[in-house]
Chain A
Amino acid sequence: MKNIFVKLIVASGFTLMLNACHKEEVVHISQPLVSTANAITTDTLKGTIKGTLLTGKTYYFSSDLTVNDGDTLLLQSGVHLIAIGDGLTPATSPEIFMHGTFISLGTKDNPNYITVKNAADLHTQAAAQKYDNVLLGWWGGITCTPAAATSTHPNPQGGDAIIKWTHIEFGGGPAGASDDQSFYTSGSPRYNIYYANITKNLIIEDSWFFGSKDDNVRTAGGKVSIMRNTFELCGGVGGEFFNMKSGTVGDLAYNMFIGAATNSLKASDAGTTGVQCHVNMYNNTMVNGGFRQTKTGRGGSIDFEKSARGSIYNNLIVNCRFGVRITSDADVKNVAYNNQLYYGYSPALVQQFYSLDGIGVKQSGDILSTTPQDNNPMFYGYDVNLFNFTTNPGPVNASIQPYNVIAISGSNFKLLAASPGIGKGKTDITPLSSVTTTGTYGTTITLPGKDIGAYQNDGTGNQH
């Protein structure tokens, strides 16, 4: 009879061991909701849309807009796209979620406007040196990212953004429920444009940016061609005009920057794409940048930081709190730079032509002096000594900065024939030309010019 137990023991000892059974998980996860896109039939836009905004017309949106993967939103020339919001909460600062292709084809004679309803009033306040409302962040900007993966579209890549002769203004409302927490945490300010389509193209040409709360444009991947644009008054207490992270590859040239909170152009390989941030910056003009950034250890015109590579040539840097700043953790061996023209009003600015905490030093083709107010660039219509940077070395509140220190305000930044920058540019450098398409939906790259800065005496370069 004991046999029974012996058998039972043997059975328990061996068969049970082999019979542990683990059932695979049965998983049901809600799929991303993709709404069918509606054609554009009225001037009030809402929900998911695709199609064309027609020449000369004005369109409004007061809630978030979405363009699906594979769809296109095209603005013909002379279109006004108006965000209606108060910028206080995510729900009242609408955003454009762009998972498809965005095209804004303004023209020199008939530019497009992507702005807010009270834009005119805000410009008036800015001109009166009242910036609290100007830098409030009234809407959520254009966010270009791949759509959420679904079973039918497992690997969406997002689309191109092609922006020509377009004014984009007053973005920066707080992020909220609809935003991807990986780059817009709740409550943080959004940008006029966020672009993170690493295999796609971001083309911004001949356009104008004004009044973002923090960064104006941020890229976290993408092939870029940023040509001949004007950037004014962006960033309340920090933020860059154009902030590039890992995966960004391309050229930025002939841009006019005035009144950045921090840098005009910043390149860093932060983020994890495996594609090194590699950008060439040439023939840009940067004026009065970096004074509203309250933290030490930041830049004021051009920064190459963490592992970024590329080149810096022919830039005109005037009264910026810091000049070219190449930090020692940049891909130092692969950052080429030369032929910059610097002007500094005060001794403090002159000392920082090459930021003291960076590794950059004066190059053979640079025009810089250790004496303040040497090498006046001789702008056609702008007094480089109109603001006393000695008494206001930064950081400063926006409210003490006169309008013409941080915005174009009728000034003319072309160089007079006698300017020290004329003919001192390096022209035998090659743009990266990462965006290869040309034509209406492509880019028009202006090659490096012989005159330092964004405006060439032969009339090429920045056309504004």
Chain B
Amino acid sequence: MKKTLTLFLLTFCYFVSFAAGTSSVKGIVTDKTTGDPMIGAMVILKNKDGYSRSVSTGLDGSFNFKNVPEGHLEIEVKYVSYAQSEENFDLKRGEERFFKVQLESKVNSLTDVTINARADSGSDKSARRLVQKSDQVINVVSAKTIELSPDITVANVTQRVSGVTIERSNNGEGQYAIIRGMEKRYTYTLIDGFKIPSPDNKNRYVPLDIFPADLISRLEVYKSLTPAMEGDAIAGAINLVLKDAPDKFTVWANLGAGLSQSVADRGFTEFGNNSSTYRSPRINNGDNYNATIGDFSNNPLHFSNSKLPIGTIAGLSIGGRTTNKKFGALVSLSYQNIYKNTNGVFFQTDVDPVSNAPLVTDIQRRVYSTQQERTSVITRFDYQFNKNNKISLDAAYIDLAQNQYRYTSDTSLTLARTGMGQGRVTESPRSIRNVQNIYNFNIHGDHHITDQLSVNWTAIYSKATANENRYDLSLITGRTLQADGSVAQQPVTVDALKGQGQTFAYNSDQDKSGYLNFVYTPEIANTKVEFTAGGMYRHKTRSSTFDDYTLGLPLNNSTQTFNGNVDNNTFAVSTLQGTATDPLNYDFTENIGAAYAQFKFTIGKLQTVGGVRYENTDQSWTDALPVTQLGKTGSIKYYDFLPSVNFKYMLSDQQNLRASYYSAISRPNFYELIPHTSGDPDADYQEVGNPYLKHATSDNYDLRYEFFPKALDQFLAGVFYKKINDPIEYSLINNGLGYVSEAGNFGTAHNYGFELDATKYISRFGVRANYAFTQSSITTTKRQDFKDANGNNTFRTVDQSRPLQGQSKNTGNLSLLYKDSKSGFDAQVSAVYTGERINSVSAYLDNDVWQKGFVTLDFSAEKRIFKNFYIYGKATNLLNTPYQLFIKLPYPALAAPGASGQAVEYQQAGKDTFVRRDTYQQYYILGLHYKL
């Protein structure tokens, strides 16, 4: 295995220089209690003749003195809050002396109240230890790694974990994690081990870009479950472990400035605030209220250019513990304000009704200016009554406010299209203000009742909300052919029917949960067995409202040109009462009750954790449908028994072999259960809800070898296999009257692959690399258009197998690290490769839209400038990696304008059909850290 590792490292051209000839002193410094290497310990080597040299230990705890004079020497090793170590020795000429220095923590030996080892849980050491000691298959990213990484949001951090890729939002920032190529519905997000509700008005999953990275102590990605964990994680779970109150008074501050290359190049478009209301006039005034033009504000459609807005990254954490260590407190504040632009080109596609080949209907140029403002406050208090009783209280408020301007210029490739550079043009300036926040209150108690019995409980109230206001203007112009062959530019006019649109969407998702666990650890047959049993209950209420108001042009003033200022146009409210019947108006209740029993014991080298979990699901809803339609109200109930077992065979102190099985489920999203119909009425097919949608279930198998050779080094290699029954996918179905797009259950999907993860440090240099191979297959029904024997255009349905949406066959990460503790300099270069994957599943055979494989490259560095002050810099997306979508079907041979195969920019006959290309350019951050 070591050979493999060496080879692995050689491929990355890693050079180490060797010292030769003269005498030298080398060694490694470790923590006496934990055995972990100590990074940055001060090692001083001196003699009576005035020779004195000092170095600090590297990432692997090692140190090295070259050209040391022979004779009597003294070596001293120091580290804050650890007892100093000294040793005298004689060194011969040409000798190479190696020391193993163990330092003992002063803190532990001074207190007689035993407090759970409160080692810095955000360190790389503890992260690595967690991976090794864990009962299950897990990957961990430490706060230290995050701090040094180029990432400022949790979403972006997740992509550094093996087998995890991210789905980006339209400003290029990561938003959702895709674990092992499985759609985001198969993953849940936890804060400190407890589930949080989602602000999304259609889905359960939580957007991860809402969390600033500096709030967390570590990020854990669980790839197998134990019975004590909630069972709806077929792909896995993401746990954000927040920082704990530290043992000693700690202040940590961070202030940085950010700059986007695209903003520097093109400026940033801002818009005004709604001066009337953020909630819909209908919600403010009741269902029967007839809105007037005075209820609406034009401000969000007033655009102005800001030359060079500078981003802000700021954080402050203050924490500590009373002298008796009983009471601890931590307050963390975080603020980020980021401005970015996106530039893109996009084709709307359809298929040719005879050949089923891709047909482009519109070409759209898009420009986005996106401001993201994240504000978070986290407070943690814990109190230890005595050695047997402890309670903690956490409160968190996390907020993401996004202001996004978008300008699209859409040239129709069918309407008024008689050649390149012609066609009807629809121009749509749009602004969106979206505010999402999550409140989370958590009270937790731990009680040791006897030596063998303890109990812990948690009560949680949490609420996620999102409020979105969208404003758009529909403008029409065009370049049309004249009889003399010339092309005339049409004036820009306001679309009389659509005019101005104002949308008000609000969602709240509230959880009240309670957890109770008993831990009983008797000794049976001389083996300590840990029995855990417990349960949880969660009452979730979700409520979504949605109103879309159209301000069209008055009939007697229906032809208005647009001169750039919307105030010069006259509008009239066309939809007086909003859209109370939009399917996004619904109330959903979900009660989950769960109980489990778990055992854990170790015989010899084999640790076994297993048991079974029971989860009961009880859902009900009321939606906006009329009573004359199916499904105004509904209820769904089911339960699952979910067994799991995790074996860990400890081959040696440094090596584990793990095997695990767990059973899991995935509950459908709320919105897809509710029997709604939505989508553009003129679209080829509508999206409908499916109240008969079943929850997906899965059997998951993992096998992993883990090797922790020394210091921070690790090597993980694993294989996995998942069999998913009733996976949920969208497909076309015939509902008796026509075809609609509906979420359904599709037989059995298989997902398997392997993962490699290696970290190796040599003195000041380190390399972290991982690679994952994933393969999956699912079969769904697609539509294929053709001309029948009678010459009529029609279609048939065909079953087609494909990988799961979002699954890349190959993904990999490579980071090169440099760390010099003495001068306080850290640097890293990180690259992520994400192989091609399905971006969206088409209803048509072979027309799935794929995302091209891509590499992103980020850089970050930190340097101590004065005592506790550090200066740092981060530069992301150095390669300006584009986001590119395509259809794996050749663009048809040249044909007439307006027809399938017409000549248009970006498309080349015979090459894959081009769908989209967005670029975000680089982002730079420069800042200062302060740590006390």
Binding site for B on A (CB under 8 A): 1-2, 4-6, 8-9, 12-13, 16-17, 19-34, 66, 88-91, 97, 131-132, 135, 146, 148-150, 154-155, 174, 176-188, 196, 198, 214, 221, 236-238, 247, 269-276, 278, 292, 294-298, 305-307, 309, 327-329, 331-332, 334, 347, 351, 356-357, 359, 395-399
- For residue B737, CB closer than 8 A to chain A, the reply is yes
- For residue B17, CB closer than 8 A to chain A, the reply is no
Say yes or no: A396-B638 contact (C-beta < 8 A), given A182-B681, A297-B478: no
Kindly state the separation between the CA atoms of A150 and B736 in the bound complex, as whole angstroms: 13
Which residues of B384-416 are within 8 A (CB) of A?
Answer: 412, 414-416
Residues of B within 8 Å of A6, CB to CB, are 603
Which listed segment binds A: B139-147, B173-181, B492-500, B806-814? B492-500
Say yes or no: A327-B898 contact (C-beta < 8 A), given A17-B643, A186-B580, A357-B480: yes
Residues of A within 8 Å of B580, CB to CB, are 176-177, 186
Residues of A within 8 Å of B902, CB to CB, are 328
CB–CB A88/B794 < 8 A: no
Kindly state the separation between the CA atoms of A183 and B423 in the bound complex, as whole angstroms: 27
Using an 8 Å CB-CB cutoff, how does the interface string of B627-669 with A read, 1 for contact, 0 for none? 1111111111111111111010000000000000101010000
CB–CB B738/A272 < 8 A: yes
- For residue B897, CB closer than 8 A to chain A, the reply is yes
7 other contacts beyond A182-B688, A292-B558, with CB at 8 A cut-off?
Answer: A4-B524, A20-B640, A27-B691, A89-B576, A238-B496, A296-B480, A329-B414
The 10 closest A-B pairs by CB, nearest first: A187-B575, A297-B415, A328-B898, A1-B525, A297-B424, A16-B643, A297-B416, A237-B496, A186-B579, A351-B483
Residues of B within 8 Å of A29, CB to CB, are 630-631, 633-634, 675, 691-692
Kindly state the separation between the CA atoms of A245 and B497 in the bound complex, as whole angstroms: 20
Query: Which residue of chain A lies nearest to B741 when distances are taken between CB atoms in the complex?
Result: A272
- For residue B712, CB closer than 8 A to chain A, the reply is no
Kindly state the separation between the CA atoms of A174 and B608 in the bound complex, as whole angstroms: 65
CB–CB A180/B635 < 8 A: no
Residues of B within 8 Å of A22, CB to CB, are 638, 640-641, 665, 695, 697, 725
- For residue B418, CB closer than 8 A to chain A, the reply is yes
CB–CB B290/A89 < 8 A: yes
Query: Chain A's nearest CB lies how many Å from the CB of B356?
Result: 12
Kindly state the separation between the CA atoms of A23 and B490 in the bound complex, as whole angstroms: 62
Query: Which residue of chain B lies nearest to A292 when distances are taken between CB atoms in the complex?
Result: B558
CB–CB B897/A328 < 8 A: yes
Q: Which of A13, A180, A294, A347 contacts B493 (CB 8 A)?
A: A294
- For residue B684, CB closer than 8 A to chain A, the reply is yes
Which residues of B745-787 are within 8 A (CB) of A?
Answer: 783
Q: Which of B478, B644, B685 contacts A16 (CB 8 A)?
A: B644
- For residue B677, CB closer than 8 A to chain A, the reply is yes
CB–CB B423/A331 < 8 A: no
Binding site for A on B (CB under 8 A): 288, 290, 353, 359, 412, 414-418, 423-424, 476-478, 480-483, 490, 493, 495-497, 524-527, 548-550, 552-553, 555-559, 574-583, 599, 601, 603, 606, 608, 610, 612, 624, 626-645, 647, 661, 663, 665, 675-679, 681-682, 684-686, 688, 691-692, 694-695, 697, 699, 725, 736-740, 783, 791-795, 896-900, 902
Residues of B within 8 Å of A154, CB to CB, are 736
Kindly state the separation between the CA atoms of A31 and B641 in the bound complex, as whole angstroms: 31
Q: Which of B608, B792, B899 contacts A328 (CB 8 A)?
A: B899
Kindly state the separation between the CA atoms of A27 and B694 in the bound complex, as whole angstroms: 10
Name the residue in B575, B691, B897 with the highest tally of chain A Cβ atoms < 10 Å from its Cβ. Answer: B575
CB–CB A179/B556 < 8 A: no
Query: Which residue of chain A lies nearest to B525 when distances are taken between CB atoms in the complex?
Result: A1
Residues of A within 8 Å of B637, CB to CB, are 25-26
Kindly state the separation between the CA atoms of A195 and B725 in the bound complex, as whole angstroms: 41
Name the residue in A23, A148, A185 with the highest tally of chain B Cβ atoms < 10 Å from its Cβ. Answer: A185
Kindly state the separation between the CA atoms of A329 and B357 in the bound complex, as whole angstroms: 13
Say yes or no: A30-B558 contact (C-beta < 8 A), given A89-B290, A359-B896: no
CB–CB A237/B553 < 8 A: yes
Query: Chain B's nearest CB lies how many Å from the CB of A450?
Result: 29
CB–CB A269/B353 < 8 A: yes
Query: Chain B's nearest CB lies how many Å from the CB of A246?
Result: 8
Kindly state the separation between the CA atoms of A146 and B735 in the bound complex, as whole angstroms: 12
Residues of B within 8 Å of A188, CB to CB, are 575, 681
Say yes or no: A187-B414 contact (C-beta < 8 A), given A5-B527, A271-B738: no
Kindly state the separation between the CA atoms of A32 and B490 in the bound complex, as whole angstroms: 49
CB–CB A185/B643 < 8 A: no
Q: Which of A1, A20, A25, A132 contacts B526 (CB 8 A)?
A: A1
Name the residue in A5, A91, A148, A298 with the highest tally of chain B Cβ atoms < 10 Å from its Cβ. Answer: A5
Query: Which residue of chain A lies nearest to B659 when distances are taken between CB atoms in the complex?
Result: A13
CB–CB B677/A181 < 8 A: yes
CB–CB A148/B638 < 8 A: no
CB–CB A309/B793 < 8 A: yes
Query: Which residue of chain A lies nearest to B417 when distances are taken between CB atoms in the complex?
Result: A357
Residues of A within 8 Å of B476, CB to CB, are 294-296
